Chains A and B, each alone.
Chain A
């Protein structure tokens, strides 16, 4: 019986955490971690970032990610961000992007999604929902 329970548990957690590919770590200074469900791994240059991943940077560390639509994300020291949603049709250039900054700082250069699907691109801090209109900006939060 416990074997079935274990299998069900694995299937459920797989469904929740197994994310589609969203982008690639391009720059790293210091240390950063990718948290994927129960797993934790160092965010090295060339590492894939998936939907639902939590990305954390250490003190005095920073990290740059290019999402598959060309959106550039860079996180400053002591930051936590979550890729809530990323859907990108590379032919039609349409889809959805939803990123939360839980702590620290995030600089953004929006990509193709902000051009073709501007209403489906959202950045969140604990207090604010931010919509973009073809944009570069920085975000900061003290945390929740």
Chain B
């Protein structure tokens, strides 16, 4: 058995570097929502677009890009541990209210349970609660009502076991309608609290 000296091994590694072996790699993954996507790579040697799912590129230290088609399996093999550390995706929920008051519609009450379950499944969750109103009533009264709706939602979450420190509640009044209307028009879609969790 031949024993190579450290110096020879070091030289071989150097040769590998000089030959411009792959320095960096990129693989485009399919978007979870199925929408089209792309990345644009700019290197010393030029520009290249990856726009097919699992399209990969190896980039040499001189910036030369070599394309390669990867698969779900090859990505899992090489990057499984990296992908497993990905945080849970942010989610949005909408809770609707009756006209002019602080009462949650029966349809929305059921959705709240699902939302609480999602929140509890997350590590270090950050939650924003934003109240909205329709345009019935004065701007000032709607600012107050939207904040009340947000605070009600926050209190329900706290009662459901979500720590208060993780929740940020605010009111936007009638300024951010989902459906645009004339003033003093009742619009159920706008009487809502938007909850974002990440």
Which A residues, 108 to 144, have Cβ-Cβ distances below 8 Å to chain B? 109, 111, 125-142
Known A-B contacts A26-B124, A107-B79; A74 and B42 likewise in contact (beta carbons under 8 Å):
no
* Contact across chains for A137 and B26 when beta carbons are under 8 A apart: yes
Number of chain A residues whose Cβ lies closer than 8 Å to a Cβ of chain B: 43
Which residue of B is nearest A105, CB measured? B82
* Contact across chains for B29 and A137 when beta carbons are under 8 A apart: yes
- Which among B87-95, B132-140, B141-149, B180-188 touches the partner chain? B87-95
- Tell me how far the C-beta of A140 lies from the nearest C-beta in chain B, rounded to whole angstroms: 4
Number of chain B residues whose Cβ lies closer than 8 Å to a Cβ of chain A: 45
* Contact across chains for A74 and B83 when beta carbons are under 8 A apart: yes
* Contact across chains for B37 and A135 when beta carbons are under 8 A apart: yes
* Contact across chains for A62 and B198 when beta carbons are under 8 A apart: no
* Contact across chains for A126 and B24 when beta carbons are under 8 A apart: yes
User: Would you call A77 an interface residue if the criterion is a C-beta within 8 Å of the partner chain's C-beta atoms?
Assistant: yes
Known A-B contacts A27-B87, A64-B87, A127-B43; A141 and B23 likewise in contact (beta carbons under 8 Å):
yes
In the docked arrangement, what's the CA distance between A71 and B42, Å?
Answer: 21
A-B contact pairs, 12 of them (CB 8 A): A24-B124, A26-B87, A66-B126, A76-B81, A109-B89, A125-B23, A127-B23, A127-B60, A132-B37, A133-B40, A138-B82, A140-B25
List the 5 closest pairs (A to B, CB-CB), nearest first: A76-B82, A62-B85, A26-B87, A74-B85, A135-B37
